[in-house]
């Protein structure tokens, strides 16, 4: 996999690039926002948000405009909730707070690449998502579990689609709240209520799994 590593600290960039190459990735490095924007196409961008020539959030938006399918993981020492939300809103698929272990970063890379592959594999033309016995027609806003059609309220449907696009992968609460409500403020209770309602209507409480302290996962089997 070809990775664009955007990091202005040479010591950190060198160590991270070496670790990524040991794991089989091809690494292209950029020290500035300008270099990152000029870089050739890659599969994944690891984007430090503290860059010397431009705010990393602006770079994230620019990269997303250029290639809506590229996987982007924002990397920053900014750990507050509003920083993470800003990163996700700018177009990042995930947000990693420094310092982090290479084991965690590799796991997040694998999860983001799985989600990216699922969301771009055939769903744009057909508008159909599948996960186990679950089938969703995104365009018609219809849902079936096996042969049984399930009637969902608007936000329940949006929540299910957000989970189904990343089926089998844990979707963080912040990501779901942004996807469904376009904000994380005051939506925590709403998310829990809608998950409970969704489980009841799917008639399979285990289909939407809770991953304590992280988020939810739609079971694929």
Query: Taking the model in full, what pTM does it have?
Result: 0.59
* pLDDT bracket for residue 57 (50, 70, 90): very high
| Among 50, 39, 42, 102, CA closest to 72 | 42
How far apart are alpha carbons 151 and 143 in whole angstroms? 7
* pLDDT bracket for residue 125 (50, 70, 90): very low
What is the pLDDT, as a whole number, of residue 209? 94
Residue 122 predicted with pLDDT over 60? no
């Amino acid at each position: 996999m070809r990775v664009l590593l955007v990091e202005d600290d040479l010591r950190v960039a060198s160590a991270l690039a070496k670790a990524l190459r040991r794991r089989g990735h091809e690494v292209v490095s950029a020290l500035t926002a300008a270099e990152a924007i000029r870089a050739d196409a890659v599969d994944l961008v690891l984007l430090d948000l503290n860059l010397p020539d431009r705010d990393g959030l602006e770079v994230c938006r620019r990269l997303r405009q250029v290639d809506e399918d590229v996987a982007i993981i924002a990397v920053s020492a900014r750990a507050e909730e509003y920083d993470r939300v800003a990163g996700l809103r700018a177009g990042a698929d995930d947000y990693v707070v420094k310092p982090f272990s290479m084991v965690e970063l590799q796991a997040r890379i694998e999860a983001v690449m799985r989600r990216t592959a699922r969301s771009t594999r055939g769903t744009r033309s057909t508008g159909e998502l599948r996960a186990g016995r679950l089938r969703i027609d995104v365009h018609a806003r219809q849902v079936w579990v096996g042969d049984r059609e399930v009637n969902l309220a608007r936000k329940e449907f949006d929540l299910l689609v957000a989970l189904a696009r990343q089926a089998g992968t844990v979707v963080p609460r912040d990501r779901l709240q942004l996807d469904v409500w376009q904000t994380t403020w005051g939506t925590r209770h709403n998310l829990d209520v809608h998950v409970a309602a969704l489980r009841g209507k799917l008639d399979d409480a285990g289909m939407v799994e809770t991953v304590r302290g992280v988020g939810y996962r739609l079971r694929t089997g």
